[in-house]
Structure 1
Amino acid sequence: MKSTRRGWPMLAFVAVGSAAVMGVAMPTGLLAAQVSSPAKKVEKPLPDGEHPSLAVKGHLFDRQSVYAFLTTAKQAEAMADPLQRCLKYPDPPGSHWSAVAVEAYCRYRTHQVAPFEEVRSLLQRGEFDELERRLASLLQDKLNKPDMRNVLDHSFERWFARSDLELRPLLENWKHAKSQSAFAYAASGISYVAMAQQARGGQYIKDTPASNIEAMDRLIALADVDLRHAVELDSRVTPAYVAMIRAGRYSLGDAYLEKAAGAALRADPANFAIYDELMWALQPKWGGSLKQMTLLGKQAIKHAGENPVLLLLPEKELAYEADLDSDDCTKPGRWDQFSVIFDQAAVTSQLLDAGTAAARCGQLELSVVYYSEALRFYPEDDDTRVARANQLSDFDESAWALKEIGHLLLQKPHEARYVFARGYAYEGLNDYTNAEKDYLAALALDPGNQTIYAQLAGLYVNDMHDWEKAWKLDERLVELYPNEPYVWLLRAHIQQEQPRPGLKDTADYFQAHFDKSPELHQALLKMRAAQALQEGKAHAAAKATGQ
């Protein structure tokens, strides 16, 4: 069984660099209409153990269970039929996922929605009658076919929740041609909300220019006009309500959100998209509360008989309370909680968050499982697929990883991260020639990527033991990154293992520039010990030859 081979040779440091993930702090608080009383303050996650579910002792995944999970997952992913692939997929080790919830979510995620390009083409050709016919059919399916009750909302989200400037005039033409179409006005309003989100940007409110906020408010005002008109024309067109909840969260405030939520739940009390949007809107960071999220989840469950996908919503409150996307890698018991949070089925976004958090902190057993579950429900996610492929090599599945990356490279042959991932899979297969070739090709595509340099250094030192190539690479790294301690640790490692002269000079330089933390000081002590050993051997050799 293979251990992780990421990172600089001989080091336990996890990362060369980091990028902060910026959150979005919205300017208004939120209320839960028909769910609970208004929140008086922003709440923080409760201390460990206060939530009954989180007080339950969880467990980590052992390597054996992950190997068994991946074996079954690989078999499922080989199936051609998307629904059967999803249904036959294994649940996380030791979990108790509801078969009803899983089947409902599989059907929800695998139902084939017409591609956006097809809808755009109808709009461009002015075939509004045909578009109206298709949407009317989806509305009737929503009302009369239990397996299709979520497709209308899902379709509107896929087609119109996009800040596409070229789409804007097409929607205006549609509204003009079909002035009594609730579909046209709902689509237009949804698009305006997406444009408002882009105009605002992803920074905290304090870091967002006033002009961005003003642009967002103008677009939200336009969205409100269209969305109100849509539900006046036909209250059954529920995608409009979802966008109204989103607009309230972004700009229009508590009173608007409360009214929109109430109208939405009256129009369709078992609507997954509405509950899903409300659950996110009620997070404490927007001014809601954990209590409101809990009560909303309980209300949703009451309607699960009509729409079983609602069974997945209560897990959102549990994941939020556990601070799932925290950057804290050392919090006691944090990783044990994952098995509690995901003891029941969860939506794709949460599974992806769990996989990303675990990967960031080196918890590969957790990460590869939750990344796989995210791909179970959203196999089109190429970002997650390449991240998971890199981890497959650490579980003796390099051949599977190579096949996965091969499919991605057919679409984007010059994507540096794909080329790098293929190199990592080759390295896992002990094909060092092709691994080196891909690492060098990836560097040509992305010259400043230190992760690629690190893996190439590891290939030369740990696998190929090619000290000349390792030394030439280190000389290049010294030129590019003279202030990175890892570069000098690589140099010392080569000088120690080859061996090569100059270890004392490297140790002196390292001490003068980098002896600033306990970890780096320990590295320096090892360097000095290796230096003393080399000098002792040299002295003994000189003495033996009489020099």
Structure 2
Amino acid sequence: MASRVLWLLAAGGLLIGGAAGLAVYFGHVDPAPAPATAFQPPKARPMKVAFSPEEFRQFLDAARKAEAIADPLQRCLAYPDPPGTHWSANTAAAYCHYLLAQEITEDAVRQLIEHGQVSELQSRLASIESAALSDPQARDRLDGTFNIVFANGSSDMRSLMDAWKRQSPDNAFALAASGTAYVAMAQAQRGSEYADKTPQDAFDAMHRLLEQARSDLDRAATLDPKLTVSYAQMLHVGRMDSDPAYAGAAAKRALSAAPASYAIYARLISMSQPKWGGSVALMDHLIDLSQKHVAQNPLLGTLLSERGGGQQRVEDCQCDEFAEAELYRQVLAEVPTLGVLMSAGWAAQERSHMNLSVVYRSELLRFNPRELDHREARVFGLIDTGQVDWALEEGNALVKLAPRDENAYDARGAAYQATGDTVHAAADFEEALRIAPSDAWTLSSLGDIYVQVNHDWAKGWDIANRLIQEGDYRGWMLRADIQKAQPRDGLEQTIDDFVQRYSADPSKQVFVERMQAMRGTSVNPAAAKGRNGS
């Protein structure tokens, strides 16, 4: 559905999609949809690391200290900037307030609506909107509040919004909040799968909810033409509903009402990505236009990190250590968007640049501590960079926060294992498997403890069989380790099976060589006998 989004902003509206449309309104740019290209550092780049070990240590010390602050906003404001960078203090502070300032909480909203005090609620929202006109640090604060409080697709939120509208049917805030909740419900119905894997009834439900969102958002924009929250949600509706005319009209009205709006520019740039039918050239042009207003709204500085294709550019980098460092200096030249930080943290870990991954993910958690997946992943980076005590502290916190999340137990188990406490590590991996019985990483980690530490051949053999059933290469390797060390018959057959299955896979060559090296080897049965050997 989203691939059909096209853009054209002319006198009557904006057709959203190919770069040609936006060029009509925003000025000439190359209309050819250009794919986001992988980051290519200059050929004569300096052979310089991103930061020194001492800078990294100082950053980690300051980050850990800041993360001990309970209040999310104060924690964000106290957090260190990445080592070796010089961020704008105004932009960093504005981003902290935009994402974390709790001008009004969901609980407070609920109390006011349920007690018939919607006039007080509307007065408080109006104060937030008014503050943005006089305080640069408060720009887009209302948009941030709506994202935190009302972008909730639950039936409970739906009931609350309906109750608000019954008490105040012609209030723009009530209608915009209701529309925001409808969009969240529509997104939940749509899900995150590709279109060909999404049932038609899910699309039908999404479209019905988007129609209800349109009705509320249109009325809100009519009642308060300067309420940018409405337009930002309209853009979302236009993309999800493949309606370029609707999205176009919203974009034109939004930039006319609020030319320095971060929420609107961020949405336009996101929709201009090549995967939505736009181009890198169009993204860069929009970023250039947004920077003309950065003095009025420091939040716009975060959009600089989206240059050159943003997240895809970061993910596609074919980076060695020094290319990764050059990318780091460019991506973190100014406060990046959350999306870029997510992609950068994941990509750096995939490229085994764990110190950079820890920095990216720490900054992500600075601005959005609710990203538990990235917090769990950071534990492995902390272990890899020698911060084992902090990793275990984080593992304990994660298990407390998400006691039914197998990844929390995996993270804590890995931290225990790094301290040498394999008893508690095995217990955590076993708990993770009770939640997710077929997780290959957990099976392999637990199998290694059973075999390499405990010499519990029977349990290790069971784990090896489960991995093989999952088609995971580590199952054959674990089986071979048992057959060699216990010893147990069949080692040569296991090696033959592994070589036949994986010899043509370039990514498995190091393991093929390891298995081949085991041919003709065995351990003296008496010496190898473990406490559960059989």
Relative to the length of structure 1, the TM-score reads 0.82
Q: How does 1:371-382 map to 2 (within 5 A)?
A: 371-382=361-372
Aligned partners of 1:155, 1:372: CA distance in 2, in Å? 23
Alpha-carbon distance change, 197 to 146 in structure 1, aligned in 2, over 3 angstroms: same
Distance 1:342 1:319 in 2: 15
Would you say 1:384 and 2:361 are equivalent positions? no
Name the CA shift for 1:156/1:61 in 2 (closer, same or farther; >3 Å): same
Q: 1:492 aligns with which of 480, 483, 488?
A: 480
1: CA distance, partners of 2:147 / 2:218: 18
Which residue type is aligned with residue 306 of structure 2? K
SS at match of 1:530: coil
Give the letter for the 2:461 counterpart: D
Task: Determine the structure 1 residue equivalent to 2:33.
Answer: 42
SS at match of 1:153: helix
The answer on whether the counterparts of 2:93 and 2:137 sit within 8 Å (CA) in structure 1 is: no
Query: Residue 4 of structure 2 is aligned with which of 27, 31, 34?
Result: 27
Aligned residue number for residue 8 of structure 1? none
Question: Would the alpha carbon gap of residues 396 and 524 (structure 1) be closer, same or farther in structure 2, given more than 3 Å must change?
Answer: closer
* 1:473 matches 2:463: no
Q: Is 1:506 aligned to residue 497 of structure 2?
A: no
8 Å Cα contact 2:447-2:464 kept in structure 1: no
Is this contact kept in 2: 1:43–1:285, CA < 8 A?
A: no
Aligned match for 1:150, one of 120, 140, 143: 140
Partner of 1:310: 300
Deviations 1:256-278 (A, max 9, x none): 32221121112112222122111
1:340 aligns with 2:330: yes
Distance 1:258 1:37 in 2: 18
Residue 408 (str. 1) matches residue 393 (str. 2) = no
Distance change in 2, residues 1:450/1:129 (3 Å): same
1:458 aligns to 2:448 (yes or no): yes
Contact 2:382 2:388 in 1 (8 A): yes
Shift in Å, 1:240: 0.6
Q: Secondary structure at the match of 1:223?
A: helix
Shift of 1:308: 1.0
Whether contact under 8 Å (1:290, 1:321) holds in the other structure is no
After superposition, give the CA deviation of every residue in 1:325-348 in whole Å (9 maximum; x if it has no partner). Answer: 449789995674243222222022
Rounded to whole Å, the distance in 1 between the matches of 2:245 and 2:144 is 26
CA distance in 2, matches of 1:71, 1:452: 30
Moved more, 271-280 or 284-293: 284-293
How many pairs are equivalent? 509
d(CA) in 2 for partners of 1:522 and 1:144? Answer: 62
Q: Which moved more, 1:113-122 or 1:241-250?
A: 113-122
CA distance 1:489–1:179, shift in 2 (3 Å):
closer
Aligned-partner Cα distance in 2 for 1:329–1:292: 25
Q: Is the 8 A contact 1:53 1:340 kept in 2?
A: no
Deviations for 1:283-331, whole angstroms, at most 9, x for unmatched residues? 2222223232222222222222221111111221335285234497899
Distance 1:453 1:257, change over 3 A: same
Contact 1:186 1:226 in 2 (8 A): yes
Q: Does 1:530 align with 2:518?
A: yes
Whether the 8 Å contact between 2:132 and 2:141 is mirrored in structure 1 is yes
CA distance in 2, matches of 1:436, 1:371: 27
User: What is the DSSP-based 3-state SS (H/G/I as helix, E as strand, rest coil) of the residue aligned with 1:531?
Assistant: coil
For 1:70, which of 47, 60, 85 is the aligned residue? 60
Pairing partner for 2:164 from 170, 174, 184: 174
Q: Sort the Cα spacing of 1:422 and 1:146 in 2 relative to 1 into closer, same or farther, 3 A.
A: same
Aligned-pair CA distance for 1:402: 1.7
AA in 1 matched with 2:476: W
Query: Structure 2 residue aligned with 1:196, among 186, 190, 199?
Result: 186
More displaced 10-residue stretch of structure 1: 525-534 or 400-409: 525-534
Contact map agreement 2:38 2:314 (CA 8 A) in 1: no
AA aligned opposite 1:399: D
Match of 1:368 in 2: 358
Q: Which runs of 5+ in 2 are unaligned?
A: 7-15, 526-534
Q: Would you say 1:295 and 2:282 are equivalent positions?
A: no
Matches within 5 A, 1:164-243: 164-243=154-233
- Tell me the alpha carbon deviations over residues 404-437 of structure 1, each in whole angstroms, 9 at most, x when there is no partner: 2222333333432222222211112222222222
Q: Distance in 1 between matches of 2:103 and 2:48?
A: 38
User: Contact between 1:163 and 1:192, CA under 8 Å: does it hold in 2?
Assistant: yes
Deviations 1:211-263 (A, max 9, x none): 44444333333322222211211123221111112122222533332221121
Aligned equivalents of 1:204 and 1:54: distance in 2? 38
Runs (4+) off by over 6 Å? 52-58, 327-332
Alpha-carbon distance in 1 for matches of 2:484, 2:142: 65
1:534 deviates by 4.8
State the alpha-carbon separation in 1 of the partners of residues 396 and 39 from structure 2: 44
Alpha carbons 1:474, 1:487 under 8 Å: kept: no
Query: What is the SS of the residue equivalent to 2:208?
Result: helix
**Is contact 2:37-2:316 (8 Å) kept?**
no
Aligned AA (1:504): E
* Amino acid in the other structure paired with 1:28: V
Flag the 1:152–1:448 CA change in 2: closer, same or farther, 3 A.
Answer: same
Amino acid at match of 2:368: Y
Say if 1:137 and 1:55 are closer, same or farther in 2 by CA, change over 3 A. farther
Structure 1: gaps of 5 or more residues = 1-23, 539-547
Distance across 1 between alignment mates of 2:96 and 2:506: 49
Structure 1 position 323 matched with structure 2 position 310: no
Q: CA deviation at 1:54?
A: 11
Q: CA deviation at 1:70?
A: 1.8
Q: Aligned pair in 2 of structure 1 residues 272, 439: CA closer, same or farther (>3 Å)?
A: same
Structure-to-structure mapping, 1:390-469, within 5 angstroms: 390-461=380-451, 464=453, 466-467=454-455, 469=456
Secondary structure of the corresponding residue to residue 183 of structure 2: helix
Are 2:49 and 2:325, in contact at CA under 8 Å, matched by a contact in 1?
yes
How far off its partner does 1:448 sit? 1.6
Root-mean-square deviation (Å)? 3.4
Structure 2-normalised TM-score?
0.84
Which residue of 2 is the match for residue 105 of structure 1? 95
Distance 1:39 1:249 in 2: 22
Q: Which of 153-162 and 323-332 deviates more?
A: 323-332
In the alignment, the residues of structure 1 paired with residue 496 and residue 283 of structure 2 have an alpha-carbon distance, to the nearest angstrom, of: 58
